[in-house]
Amino acid sequence: MEIFEFHFNPKGKQDLIFDSFCYEPENVYEKRMGSLYMVGVLKNALPHNHRFLDTLARIIREKYYKTVSPNPEKALREALRKANDHLEKTARAGDVSWLGNLHFSVTAFKNSEVNFAKVGDLKIFLLRKGHIVDIDQKLQGMGDIEPYPLKIFGNIITGKLAENDIVLILTKEIADFFTSQALIQQIARLSPFDKKRMQEALNGKKEELSKISGLCLLIYLSKESYRKEKETLLPKKTFKIFSFKKVFAPIVSIFKLPKISFKKPTLSIKKPSLSIKKPTLHAPKLPNIKIKLPSFKFNLNIPFKGMLKNKKLNLVVFLILLLALGAFIFSRTEEKRLEVYWEQTKQIQEKVSQAESYLILAGKNPQAKKQANMLFSESWQELTPLVNMSPSFPQTLSEQIFSLKDKLAGHLFDLNLLVEIQEPELFFEFQARGFIPQKLVFFEDNLYLFSPYADNVFEVNKEKEGKLLEIAEKINFGIALPDSVLLLVKPDKLINLKDGQFQNTFSLQTPYAGFEWNAVSVFQSSLYLLDIKQGKIIKYPYLGNFSWGSSLSWYSNQKARDFRSLAVDGSLWILTKDNSLERYYAGTLQETLDLQIFPEAKYFSKLLTSAELPYIYLLEPSQNRIVILDKQGQIVKQFQSPKFDGLLDFSLSQDGKTIWLLNGLKVYRILF
């Protein structure tokens, strides 16, 4: 993994503070959590805010690496919760100057898994094999400020990355410049990434870049090791070498035999002192000899003598007893734990049997089928944690769990009409260094593909032949009208495309300052535009001759911030952030469809339907599928394929029987 930080004119504006914070694992404690990268911007900053971003980054970093859970997603949630607490405390203390001015992103990497979170208008892109994925679209609305208690940081997007993937995190001004100059596309074409070529591209725009301030953080997933500049987050700990000899020395000393020490006998002989004097009657004296007998010294270590005074011995005995007690408690705890898992497995098995009994009635009673599906889905959710823990279970329990899993999968696949396509039909493929599409729309046997990051439109006919339609516009959205294709360019421009030619243009009336739509639908040529940030849906009635009337507020509510996509068929259908469908009529909620689908929905990204279609179509890139429902919320069909690993957009034929899926640089076709 290689990290590149590009800071442009950091002192260009006195009231603008921005910085990037890159923390990579250096010790075993950090490696279990992976790497952490943050980008922060504070606009309209006051003098006392000069350390605001540093403090926020430090709080997130410390909590992230100190969280007990080894799961990076859970650790990031805890860190963001801590950040929210800090921001709330700051606001309650009277400092609210940062509200509405803070833009901050947090990205956590561990192996190939990545977690994104952000607040504000930073842009995050994933560049893979030449195409561009706008991660920011999935994070829209997560940074909206709510009343106390503040919840600045909200959702987390989780995904997996592959080798040679590039993650780009850009401040808004830099993102706008990169988009306008097609620099993001240039970077996407650098596969594998080449720092020198990127530097050349930036140097070519040196004069323009000297006039703007901001930063670009580029994360390249290569085989390279982490960069050399590392920051140690936790102090290194030193460990003493464990020695059995030292630990058990006090015990061994108890059982030693008496120690006997011998001193060698010493022998000292004094020479006889002989002096000759005048003859006398006395006999001469004998020599004076001194002999020392051997001395014996006994050191008797009587077992347990002085035991109570030996602190080391007391500690060792206590540890032995503690270990023995711990082993006993662990054994009993493990037995009880397994008993709980056996009981859970038994209960799931009983629920599966109950669901199977409903299947017998499913042919004559649709409600019984729904009930069976619900019980099977609940059983699957309850069984999944046991499947994940099964390697630590006894073989008999593990085998029973996997047998139950296979049975459940079979029932759920059948009930949810899931069709797995191993080799879907490849309709068209773009070259990696050519046109890179992001969206598509079908009209009169032709596909039209475009991108909000590059000029021009690409046309593919039914003979699978393609050609470039040149126009100096970056198209954000396309809709099929009865006689032509309507192309939308943010913020307010409409372009008519007919017979391969760009014809009329029209500018919509801006309803209010800061209007920025996120999703579009059409009914009887009238336009419905969703502004998530403002929580509004704006309608533009069609007047004929490629013109639209003044804007009308069709719906206005804070709840609209939870909307993700919309479609109109007479009623207005809304896809919400919790993956449910809401139906509105005349601006009033009529019903909510809570979708019972297997696999359980994670993130539906787009909704399509119309008055001519009996079905609702939902795209879910995270699970490689498209889901088709009737308008009562019942499953009609699901199509899933391992080849759908980079779904960006989809479109339908007029009768809804043909589905085109844009997957990276490939367009697949499904006949339904």
Q: Identify which has the larger pLDDT, 259 or 180.
A: 180
Cα angle 659, 578, 665 (rounded to 5 degrees) comes to 35
pLDDT for position 667: 97
Per CATH, 2-220 and 425-671 having the same topology is answered no
Q: What is the Cα–Cα distance from 495 to 491, expressed in whole angstroms?
A: 13
Summarised one tens digit per residue, pLDDT across range 289-337 is 454 545 544 444 445 455 545 666 667 776 777 777 666 666 666 677 7
Predicted confidence (pLDDT) at residue 247 exceeds the cutoff of 60: no
Place 478 in a pLDDT band, splitting at 50, 70 and 90: very high
- Region 332-355: mean pLDDT is 83
Which among 260, 244, 262 has a CA at the least distance from the CA of 301? 260
Least confident of 107-116, 274-283, 309-318, 594-603: 274-283
Predicted confidence (pLDDT) at residue 626 exceeds the cutoff of 60: yes
- Region 192-220: mean pLDDT is 87
Predicted confidence (pLDDT) at residue 613 exceeds the cutoff of 80: yes
With respect to CATH, is domain 425-671 assigned 2.120.10.30?
yes
- Region 578-587: mean pLDDT is 94
pLDDT for position 210: 86
Predicted confidence (pLDDT) at residue 366 exceeds the cutoff of 80: no
Predicted confidence (pLDDT) at residue 638 exceeds the cutoff of 90: yes
How many other CB atoms sit within 10 Å of the CB of residue 653? 17
Predicted confidence (pLDDT) at residue 223 exceeds the cutoff of 70: no
Distances (CA, A) of 333 to 69, 216, 321, 387, 592: 21, 52, 18, 20, 46
Domain boundaries, the chain: 2-220, 312-415, 425-671
Summarised one tens digit per residue, pLDDT across range 37-65 is 999 999 988 888 889 999 999 999 999 98
Predicted confidence (pLDDT) at residue 453 exceeds the cutoff of 70: yes
Predicted confidence (pLDDT) at residue 258 exceeds the cutoff of 60: no
Place 273 in a pLDDT band, splitting at 50, 70 and 90: very low
Q: What is the Cα–Cα distance from 151 to 166, expressed in whole angstroms?
A: 30
CATH topology of domain 2-220: Phosphatase 2c; domain 1 (3.60.40)
Instruction: Please report which helix (H) or strand (E) contains residue 376, including its range.
Output: helix 366-389
Tell me the torsion sign for CA atoms 640, 641, 642, 646. Answer: negative
Predicted confidence (pLDDT) at residue 504 exceeds the cutoff of 80: yes
**What is the share, in percent, of the chain residues with pLDDT greater than 90?**
43
Predicted confidence (pLDDT) at residue 615 exceeds the cutoff of 60: yes
- Region 352-367: mean pLDDT is 74
Sheet holding 131-134, edge to edge: 2-8, 214-220, 166-170, 123-128, 131-134
- Region 405-416: mean pLDDT is 89
How many other CB atoms sit within 10 Å of the CB of residue 329? 10
Predicted confidence (pLDDT) at residue 463 exceeds the cutoff of 80: yes
Predicted confidence (pLDDT) at residue 198 exceeds the cutoff of 70: yes
Predicted confidence (pLDDT) at residue 69 exceeds the cutoff of 60: yes
pLDDT for position 263: 45
Predicted confidence (pLDDT) at residue 164 exceeds the cutoff of 70: yes
Which among 532, 507, 506 has a CA at the least distance from the CA of 519? 532
Predicted confidence (pLDDT) at residue 269 exceeds the cutoff of 70: no
Q: Are 218 and 166 in contact, with CB atoms under 8 Å apart?
A: yes
pTM: 0.66
- Region 93-105: mean pLDDT is 87
pLDDT for position 192: 77
* Cα distance from N-terminal residue to C-terminal residue, the chain: 43
β partners of residue 542: 548
Q: What is the Cα–Cα distance from 448 to 499, expressed in whole angstroms?
A: 12
Average pLDDT, the chain: 82
Predicted confidence (pLDDT) at residue 457 exceeds the cutoff of 80: yes
E strands of 430-476, at which residues? 439-443, 446-450, 457-460, 466-469
CA dihedral 326, 328, 329, 334 (to 10 degrees): 120
Place 248 in a pLDDT band, splitting at 50, 70 and 90: very low
Predicted confidence (pLDDT) at residue 670 exceeds the cutoff of 70: yes
Least confident of 370-384, 444-458, 467-481, 535-549: 370-384
Predicted confidence (pLDDT) at residue 496 exceeds the cutoff of 80: yes
Q: What is the Cα–Cα distance from 30 to 56, expressed in whole angstroms?
A: 19
Q: What is the CA radius of gyration of the chain?
A: 38
How many other CB atoms sit within 10 Å of the CB of residue 475? 25
656: left (phi over 0), alpha (psi -120 to 50) or beta: left
Pairing of strands 635-640, 418-420: parallel
Distances (CA, A) of 159 to 107, 319, 515: 11, 46, 31
